[in-house]
Amino acid sequence: MVVRKEDIYNLVERLPEDDQKTVFDFIQYLLNRSTEKPNGWEGIDQVDPDDEPLTEEELRQLNSDAGYVTGEDAKHEFGLQVDLP
């Protein structure tokens, strides 16, 4: 199926600003998954692992359910055809 770029632009422009950021991030994800490794990952591969313990704030955020959406919920909400964790 061919989708005109103009139609994509029009849809994105109709979205709230926060959702436009989500669309942008998703398009970047699609582009990155089509290449072996995204730009800049070679440097990441060469960096020593981070063995620094998490701060109390990082632990609090990690254990918080605020803003958490399950992969299944996201799949249904956005009509995705992929399985998410």
Please list the alpha-helical segments (H only) found in 1-85: 5-14, 17-33, 41-46, 56-63, 71-78
Whether residue 1 is predicted with pLDDT greater than 80 in this model: the reply is no
Q: Which amino acid is at 66?
A: A
The CA-atom distances, in angstroms, between 50 and each of 39, 56, 62 are: 21, 17, 17
pLDDT (tens digit, 9 = 90+) per residue, 39-70?
677 788 788 888 899 999 989 888 887 777 78
Please answer whether residues 12 and 23 qualify as being in contact, where contact means their C-beta atoms are separated by less than 8 angstroms.
Answer: yes
DSSP-derived secondary structure letter, 67: T
Boundaries of every domain in the chain: 1-38
Q: How much is the pLDDT for 37?
A: 64
Please answer whether residues 37 and 29 qualify as being in contact, where contact means their C-beta atoms are separated by less than 8 angstroms.
Answer: no
* Mean of the per-residue pLDDT values of the chain: 83
pLDDT (tens digit, 9 = 90+) per residue, 21-36?
999 999 888 887 776 6
What is this structure's pTM?
0.39
